[in-house]
């Protein structure tokens, strides 16, 4: 990096840190990111970007930079929403909104994309078209879909798309991705067992649901170990068990809620079929009825080979050869950037948030400011590499 470039990025580091701290102090839940979107749009316009569209998919923002005769239109995406978690931190930029915090680092992602946008506007050598995509409601798994349903593909066509996520446990200054499946699908389920509740002293005269629910929770744990091919990856987790009973009342209704992760549609379908079979069988055994509701919230995130190669090449320029891993194993977390990848060739990647970082979705999580410049430089670099004019 030249001395001039270093000076530019030093200034951008200060800007991005200020933007992130402001966003972190004012977190907003999915589809409620009105202040965040307004701040993003104002910043983009202050950089000199005139094509800034607000309200895309609810609260999304899309800005376009076009210069010269670039052959490709490149999309760079960041998510903006926070989580309903009460922050447990004493830093000066802690959340000022009770019960809501940036526990997944989307404040950092937004700041990095703003930094990349400002750097490209200031870069006299940049040619091409870049769309800066600020997405709402990633945590719901609904934001990308909302933007697509709002005509994103026709209104803001892109030829390739790139995104990233910070990763706790990975050192700041490191980059990881892979070709093919990187993150899993997420399905949600609710099983309602219904019988007849009554006095805790007379179980023989009623059809209580708690014991049956406990049996079903244990049975669900065998779907992966006994019903799926060992070569397939899946996670089935019962996360809540709710009843209408109390200390001296055996419940007449029990609700089991949970979460399923997988990488293939066939595995998801097999899990649902086994779950329905088990619920019906246990309900019959205990003299109950069972109702199963099964929904598919996130699709698998599958990186495209060519765009992953481009992303890795850009990352090596920014992070250095030794700090880039191009074949990291897939993980069973989910990310709705996957919705864009169903329509647009692209790549999603992880950048380090520090080996001592608190976990994602933790009340003490904070994005590492030292990771802002590497992430923003990567986004700017992949856009420059891919948007530049084709040469004969």
Q: Determine how many CB atoms are found less than 10 A away from the CB of residue 295.
A: 10
The answer to whether 3-180+300-387 and 185-298 have equal CATH topology is no
* First CA to last CA distance, the chain: 28
**Each residue's pLDDT tens digit, 295-309:** 999 999 999 999 999
* Entry pTM: 0.93
Cβ atoms 198, 244 nearer than 8 A: no
**Each residue's pLDDT tens digit, 42-92:** 999 999 999 999 999 999 999 999 998 777 999 999 999 999 999 999 899
Cβ atoms 191, 291 nearer than 8 A: yes
Residue 168, pLDDT > 90, answer yes
| Per-residue tokens: 392 | 């004969």
**Torsional class of 79: left (φ above 0), alpha (ψ -120 to 50), beta (otherwise):** beta
The architecture (CATH level 2) of 3-180+300-387 comes to 3-Layer(aba) Sandwich (3.40)
Rounded-to-integer distance, Cα 84 and Cα 97, Å: 10
Rounded-to-integer distance, Cα 129 and Cα 352, Å: 28
**Each residue's pLDDT tens digit, 112-153:** 999 999 999 999 999 999 999 999 999 999 999 999 999 999
The fold adopted by the segment(s) 185-298 is: Alpha-Beta Plaits (3.30.70)
Kindly indicate the confidence band of residue 6, based on its pLDDT and cuts at 50, 70 and 90: confident
**Torsional class of 112: left (φ above 0), alpha (ψ -120 to 50), beta (otherwise):** alpha
**Each residue's pLDDT tens digit, 11-35:** 999 999 999 999 999 999 999 999 9
Boundaries of every domain in the chain: 3-180+300-387, 185-298
Residue 4, pLDDT > 80, answer no
């Amino acid at each position: 990096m030249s001395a001039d470039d270093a000076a530019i990025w030093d200034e951008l580091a200060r800007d991005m840190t200020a933007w992130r701290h402001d966003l972190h102090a004012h977190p907003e839940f999915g589809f409620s990111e009105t202040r965040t979107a307004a701040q993003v749009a104002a910043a983009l316009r202050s950089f000199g970007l005139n094509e800034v569209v607000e309200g895309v998919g609810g609260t999304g923002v899309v800005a376009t930079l076009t210069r010269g005769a670039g052959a490709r239109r490149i999309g760079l995406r960041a998510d903006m929403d926070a989580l309903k978690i009460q922050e447990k931190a004493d830093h000066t930029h802690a959340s000022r909104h009770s019960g809501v915090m940036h526990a997944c680092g989307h404040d950092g992602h937004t700041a990095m994309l703003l930094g990349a946008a400002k750097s490209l506007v200031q870069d006299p050598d940049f040619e091409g078209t870049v769309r800066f995509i600020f997405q709402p409601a990633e945590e719901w798994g609904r934001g990308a879909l909302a933007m697509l349903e709002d005509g994103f593909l026709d209104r803001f066509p892109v030829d390739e798309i790139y995104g990233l996520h910070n990763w706790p446990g990975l050192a700041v200054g490191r980059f990881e991705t892979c070709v093919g499946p990187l993150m899993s699908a997420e399905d949600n389920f609710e099983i309602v067992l219904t019988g007849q509740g009554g006095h805790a002293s007379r179980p023989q005269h009623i059809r209580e649901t708690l014991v049956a629910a406990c049996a079903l929770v244990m049975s669900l744990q065998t779907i992966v170990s006994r019903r799926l091919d060992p070569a397939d990856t899946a996670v089935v987790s019962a996360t809540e068990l709710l009843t209408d009973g109390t200390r001296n009342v055996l419940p007449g209704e029990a609700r089991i809620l949970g979460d399923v992760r997988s990488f293939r549609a066939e595995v998801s379908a097999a899990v649902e079929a086994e779950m329905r079979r088990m619920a019906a069988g246990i309900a019959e055994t205990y003299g109950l009825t069972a109702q199963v509701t099964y929904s598919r919230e996130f699709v698998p995130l599958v990186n495209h080979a060519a765009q992953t190669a481009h992303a890795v090449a850009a990352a090596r320029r920014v992070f250095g050869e030794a700090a880039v891993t191009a074949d990291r194993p897939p993980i069973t977390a989910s990310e709705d950037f996957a919705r864009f990848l169903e329509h647009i060739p692209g790549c999603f990647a992880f950048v380090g948030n520090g080996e001592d970082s608190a976990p994602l979705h933790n009340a003490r999580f904070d994005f590492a400011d030292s990771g802002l410049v590497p992430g923003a430089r990567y986004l700017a670099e992949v856009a420059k590499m891919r948007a530049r004019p084709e040469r004969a």
